[in-house]
Chains A and B, each alone.
Chain A
Amino acid sequence: MVVNGIHNILIIGPTNSDKNVDLSTALYDTAQILHKLGYKTSVMVENPTSLLSANVLFDRIIVEKVNGENVLNYVDQYHPDAILPTVGDKNALGIISGLNGKISSTKVLGTNYFASLATFKRELFISKLNKNDLPVINFISSDDEEELYDFIRSIGFPIIARRRFSNRHSSGWTNINNLFELDNFMALEDSNNAKIEIERSIRGFSEYSCTIVRDRFDNASLIGTIEDVEPIGVHHLDSNLISPALSLNDSKLQKLRNLAIKLARVFDVIGVCTVHFALNHKTNECYITEFIPRLSEETKFLEYATSYPLATVAVELNLGFQLDKLQLDSGNSFNGACEPFMDHITSRFPQWNSSEQRYIGPSKTSDSSIIVSGFSLEEVFNKGPLNDKLNDTLIRYEKLHKLDDDQLFEKIIHPTNWMLDVLLEAIRRDFELPVLSEVTSINTPYLLALKNIKNNSAIIRDDEIDENNIEKLVSMGVKGLGYNKVLLDRDDIVTKSVVKSKKAISVNMDQITNRNFFVTSGISNDLEFGDRNKIVVRSPIITSKKNIMVRQFVLLQLVKSIHQNGLEAVILGREPWSSPLDVRNIAYEIADPHMEMQHLNLIDTKSIFKIIDFSQTLSDEDKQSNEVFQISAKPIKSLDLKSDKTMRVIVVSDGKSFTIPSVIYRQVINDKSYEISSFNKFLTDSEKSDLIENITNELQKTDQINTYNFEFSYVHDHWIITKISSGMNQDIIRHELASSVHVIDTLVKLILGNNLGSNMSSDEIFNNDDENFLVTVNDQKFKTYDEIGLRFFLNNTLKI
């Protein structure tokens, strides 16, 4: 049943680039199921700290630049049976498309050479689709001026154009509506025979994407559909996304579904495949704009939205499993032949780091995103992009309010990242919906939802909340009303804030177990707790990529540790945590954008053992309480001393004694910086007692359980403390990943009441059994050494 002869697999992992989709959870799930099914895996990554859980799941980790050359070298040296590129973003597909004929017997799973190449070479994509009667937009890629202008004459304006450079990279698409803009584009500096690619513009068409899975027996299932609020012309990931696609009626949905499945068949994609469409509701024109035969931002979003274990299913299908005979671990069989049904809306709203308004277009500019669930469009808008805790909507309102009608209209015609706020302001000024829809090409139902929001916010502003309108306001996800006194005083069955499961009730969904919930409005809760004691973990919204990794990592370790120590973990956050599959049915995960859980009293306070909070600042009430443990890094002391030699040390204290599980040593020599993890074994005895003495002095004042980060700098022949912070900072991943000592698990055990030993010797304090040591050069290049190799390195390079 499964494709024979595959025993070890090389997984092409992510590069270090910030532009990548964060697929760390998907990679973890992939490695986890392969491990459980008995495959041997090796993974090639540039930064091993980007793996959520390294040593246990992978048989080999290759730290190298992820490119074709290194992959080929690995294949030549180790002869893996198969390569898995689907978790490595665009880069991995690029590598596959360059490997044709060079890897003889090694199979490529999921997507083949031709399909990978077609995601880069538009001509190939278009010709294959044309040959198979799939609707696609005609396109030209050429450096011959005459050919280009002939083509433009034949298709007419509007068009989009970009330059494709010889290294396969390209500039973003530019919209060209007339001769003037065309001349400007053509006049731009041309570098080294760049080809120009031109296509008919489908600007203004509605954009949809369908994600399907297909097995090698040609059984295919539609997992989810996504609809963009903004039309084609704004990059898919800069648009507000809604799933399921509400505006598709039956015939359009089946058309897109059939086209997506046919495309996967045509390219013989076995596994997951996402197909993007442009659809014009007035003319019923429909085009396939691109296809993505790998895991991506869309699959990550849909995995959370539909509760379907997409990453796990995808790799099993890649290996040749049949769609209805899958496994979620080595015992449980799973029927993947279902088209998940969602009875609520899940949406993804892009976020920008800067608070300035900026223009958006066909190239991606957003930095991160937040995910919100709800039962109506008004609700997801109110909890997401119009949530002032996330987007400073009040400030935006003030700025937009000052613009006159013409200035506002300009912001409507040229889309910005404040699109919904701009439209809301326009609706406040009674701009007509049909006109707005015509100009922006945003479908009317969205504008209507904004209008409903505007009508109801007037009620709130004028403080006219009463029995008659409060239910409506609650169902629109307006903050904080769900437990309002007006509601609580009524006997009637009313709509209030409740917690619902992400799983819809359906014949199909019985077998999908997870404990993902979200706060919304309704008449009853879906939440049912077991009777074990709980630890509640509160996690805030995080937008920086590094911090997202830290949060992912720490939450995963926390949940596992809490579970292993016999308690239940409840994760509360403004936005959901996309957890790996194996913790999805052990941890309760509640998405609570307006932080209403506290007022809902759904968790019996007696059963809450402790609350762990990730936020930077705690409320005064929390600060007083013994129940809340703050885990985020809080600076305690900082000295401005520079040195070429520093050590960053993590200390775990139970209030009386402490251990130092992990030391990161950093030295700068000849303009190069070297950072070494798990340096414990290489410290001299005197260094050890130095550190211990310093730390003991500092910690005398506290009797709390906590972790501390100390930075020591070597100044005037002494180690001096230059920084102290409590909690966990970015180093936690390095400390925990590299080390045999589990910092987070130790911390949880301490919170649960265990103690560290007293009167520990210096060796016991620094105890660390690691055998592999990670060295980072210039904060970019990573290399691992064993003990002998590291001693050699220390002797020669660092002269220690």
Chain B
Amino acid sequence: MKRYLILEDGTVFPGEGFGSSVITTGQLVISNNRTGIEQSVTDPDAEGQIIAFTIPGIGSSGINRDFYESINYQCKGVVIGSASAESVDGSIPFEEWITTLKIPGIKNVDVRALSKYIYEHGEMKASIMDTHDEHAIDQIKALVLPTDLVKQVSTKQSYPNPNIGLKMVIVDLGLKYSILRQLSYRDCNSVIVNYNATPEEIAGLHPEGIIFSNGPGDPKDLPKTIENIKVLQKQFPIMGIGLGSLLVAMANDCQITKLPNPHHESSLAVKEVASGKIDFVNHNHSYTIDQKSIGSSDFIVTNICVADGSIEGIRHEFLPIISVLFEPEAAPGPTDGYYVFDEFIDLINSTKNQDWSI
């Protein structure tokens, strides 16, 4: 059945519909992830997004439901090029899977032309529709994207991920389950709380470390969380991932800028400044920390992106804060970044016996 992907400036990309037949609108994101459709679609970062996957032959590698990154996925739509209806391991075919998730999809789109267009004109809203007349285009322009994306995905109720080890509190801004997997692997006794949990509530859980997770949307939409960080960082070691790390930076007077070319790839090189080591890690972010504001802050830059020099990791000069903009938990992507979790645990252990609080 013919459907169209219509961009907010009127450009039309035809294709064939599959999955749910509803009309959908969202922020269009071009993802160059080489693998990991399951993770990308269920990633809470995809809240409100229509993701265009540029890899060919989607579906051949199969769908593994153990790889989900959240339970309540909110991806608004999926745009792909060629797909395969059968997989190597006999798992549920890709198109059928998207249908069970009730997500609208469009295939056989010229994703090369699409990504080239977005690359040149910047990320924009888009819609998957059945017609491409004037009326449709006006509807898209009129739509205002929600600014409460984190509220939609953050857990309403605190819940534990119990274990016998370091006590961690994770502030859920749209966290990926793989973060919990990595913490479990390191025996961390975790509690996951809502993004608006107050410093008192969090302190009452006696954490040894607090993690601000990844999530969807613009960091400027979360002023309260930023205030919370300012209070908490004086008492506890903090780790920021993705959106969480942008908030940590803003809580310490750094500015956020949009990346000229957003990073949506499962394997981009990141260099550890201190040792010069290059690791390949998963990136899913459109924002970064402004270079100038870092200079005047109390942060040291620990990681930069090799391809475009943007800041990917920071660490506070005297407070125990580690922050990375990439996804150290991978899922999908190379596992070179797992060490960040080990670093945070080392940090917690070494600050335990020190008197560092201000």
Give chain A's interface residues, CB within 8 Å of chain B.
Answer: 206, 217-219, 221-222, 244, 246-254, 257-258, 281-282, 322-324, 335, 337-339, 341-345, 375-377, 379, 433, 443-445, 447-449, 471-472, 475, 492-495, 500, 504-508, 510, 522-524, 526
- Contact: B34 with A493, CB < 8 Å? no
Q: Which residue of B lies closest to A242 (CB)?
A: B57
CB-based contact B330/A254 at 8 Å? yes
Question: In the docked arrangement, what's the CA distance between A323 and B263, Å?
Answer: 21
A448 partner, pick from B64, B86, B115, B263, beta carbons under 8 A: B86
Q: Is the CB of B82 within 8 A of A217?
A: no
Contact A377 B306 (CB under 8 A): no
Indicate whether B302 reaches chain A with its CB closer than 8 angstroms. Answer: no
Choose from B30, B85, B110 the contact partner of A495 (Cβ within 8 Å).
Answer: B110
Residue of B nearest to A335 (CB): B306
Asked if A338 and B110 sit within 8 Å, CB to CB, the answer is: no
* Secondary structure dominating the interface of B: loop
Note all chain B residues with C-beta closer than 8 A to A250: 35-36, 39, 67, 266, 331-333
In the complex, the answer to whether A526 meets B116 with C-beta atoms within 8 Å is yes
User: Which residues in B have their C-beta under 8 angstroms from that of A322?
Assistant: 276
Given the contacts A281-B89, A377-B57, A504-B32, A324 and B265 also touching, CB distance less than 8 Å: no
Q: Which of B40-75 contact A (CB under 8 A)?
A: 54-57, 59-62, 64, 67
**Of the residues A221, A343, A493, A500, contact of B14 by C-beta under 8 Å:** A493
B168 smallest CB distance to A (angstroms):
25
On whether A522 and B113 interact (CB within 8 A), knowing A504-B32, A506-B32, the answer reads: yes
Q: Could you write out 29 A-B pairs with CB less than 8 Å apart?
A: A206-B88, A219-B277, A249-B36, A250-B67, A250-B266, A250-B332, A253-B34, A254-B333, A323-B278, A324-B269, A337-B269, A337-B271, A339-B267, A341-B34, A343-B55, A343-B111, A343-B115, A375-B81, A376-B82, A377-B84, A444-B87, A445-B59, A475-B108, A505-B32, A505-B112, A508-B265, A510-B261, A510-B307, A523-B110
Extra inter-chain contacts (10) besides given A253-B34, A343-B55, A377-B57, CB under 8 Å: A222-B334, A249-B35, A251-B67, A339-B280, A343-B111, A375-B81, A376-B82, A377-B84, A444-B86, A444-B90
Q: Of A249, A335, A471, A492, which is in contact with the most chain B CB atoms at under 10 Å from its CB?
A: A249
Residues on B with C-beta less than 8 A from A433 are 86
CB distance from A441 to the nearest CB of B (A): 11
Q: Are A494 and B57 in contact (CB under 8 A)?
A: no
Q: Is the CB of A507 within 8 A of B307?
A: yes
Q: Which residue of B lies closest to A219 (CB)?
A: B278
B268 close to A (CB within 8 Å): yes
Give the contacting residue for B115; candidates A376, A471, A505; CB below 8 A: A505
Dominant SS among interface residues on chain A:
loop
Q: Which of A251, A337, A375, A443 contacts B82 (CB 8 A)?
A: A375
Most buried by B among A323, A475, A494, A506: A506
Q: Could you tell me if B12 and A217 are in contact, using CB atoms closer than 8 angstroms? A: no
Distance, CA A343 to CA B332, complexed state (A): 17
Instruction: Name the contact of B278 in the complex, choosing from A206, A281, A337, A449 (C-beta under 8 A).
Output: A337
Asked, given contacts A448-B85, A524-B110, whether A247 binds B61 with beta carbons under 8 Å apart, the answer is: yes
Residues in A whose Cβ lies below 8 Å from that of B86: 433, 444-445, 447-448
Most buried by A among B39, B88, B333: B88
B113 touches A217 (CB 8 A): no
CB <8 Å contact, A445 and B60 = yes
CA distance A493 to B117 in the complex (A): 16
Cβ distance A57 to chain B, nearest Cβ, rounded Å = 31
Contact between chains at B57 and A445 (CB < 8 Å): yes
B252: interface (CB < 8 Å): no
Decide: B56 and A217 in contact? CB cutoff 8 A: no
The chain B residue sitting closest to A476, CB to CB, is: B82
Q: Output the least CB separation between A374 and chain B (Å).
A: 8
A517 to B52, CA, bound (A): 23
Point out the residue from A221, A251, A338, A343 that lies within 8 Å of B112, measured CB to CB.
A343
Distance from A381 Cβ to chain B, minimum over Cβ atoms (Å): 12
Please name all residues of chain A whose beta carbon is closer than 8 Å to the beta carbon of B55 when the two chains form the complex: 244, 343
Whole-angstrom distance from the CB of B10 to the nearest CB of chain A? 12
Q: Which of B110, B265, B269 contacts A341 (CB 8 A)?
A: B265
List the 5 closest pairs (A to B, CB-CB), nearest first.
A376-B82, A250-B332, A249-B61, A246-B57, A522-B110
A254 touches B335 (CB 8 A): yes
B313-336 vs A, CB cutoff 8 Å, 1 = contact: the mask equals 000000000000000001111110
B356 within 8 A of A: no
Q: Please give, as numbers and ranges, the residues of chain B lying within 8 Å of A343 by CB-CB distance.
A: 32, 54-56, 81, 111-112, 115
Q: Tell which of A222, A281, A344 touches B88, judged by Cβ atoms closer than 8 Å.
A: A281
B261–A507 touching, CB < 8 Å: yes
B308 contacts the other chain (Cβ, under 8 Å)? yes
Task: Output the least CB separation between A120 and chain B (Å).
Answer: 31
Query: Which residue of B61, B62, B87, B306 is within 8 Å of A324 (Cβ)?
Result: B306
Q: A445-B88, A475-B108 are in contact. Are A523 and B265 (CB under 8 A)?
A: no
How distant is B117 from chain A, measured CB to nearest CB, in Å? 9
Docked Cα-Cα span, A322 to B54, in Å, equals 30
The complex places the Cα of A217 from the Cα of B57 at a distance, in Å, of: 35
CA A377 – CA B85 in complex, angstroms? 12
A249→B308 CA distance, assembly (Å): 28
Shortest Cβ gap from B179 to chain A (Å): 16
Cα distance, A341 to B264, chains bound together (Å): 12
Chain A residue, CB-CB nearest to B61: A249
Q: Are A282 and B84 within 8 A (Cβ)? A: no
Which residue of chain B lies nearest to A501 when distances are taken between CB atoms in the complex? B112
Nearest CB of A to B322, in Å = 22
Closest chain-B Cβ to A212's Cβ sits at a distance in Å of 11
Q: A508 contacts B268, CB within 8 Å?
A: yes
CB <8 Å contact, B334 and A257 = yes
Query: B159 contacts the other chain (Cβ, under 8 Å)?
Result: no
Kindly state the separation between the CA atoms of A471 and B2 in the bound complex, as whole angstroms.
11
* Residues in chain B near residue A522, CB distance under 8 A: 110, 112-113
Q: Does the CB pair A495–B108 fall under 8 Å?
A: yes
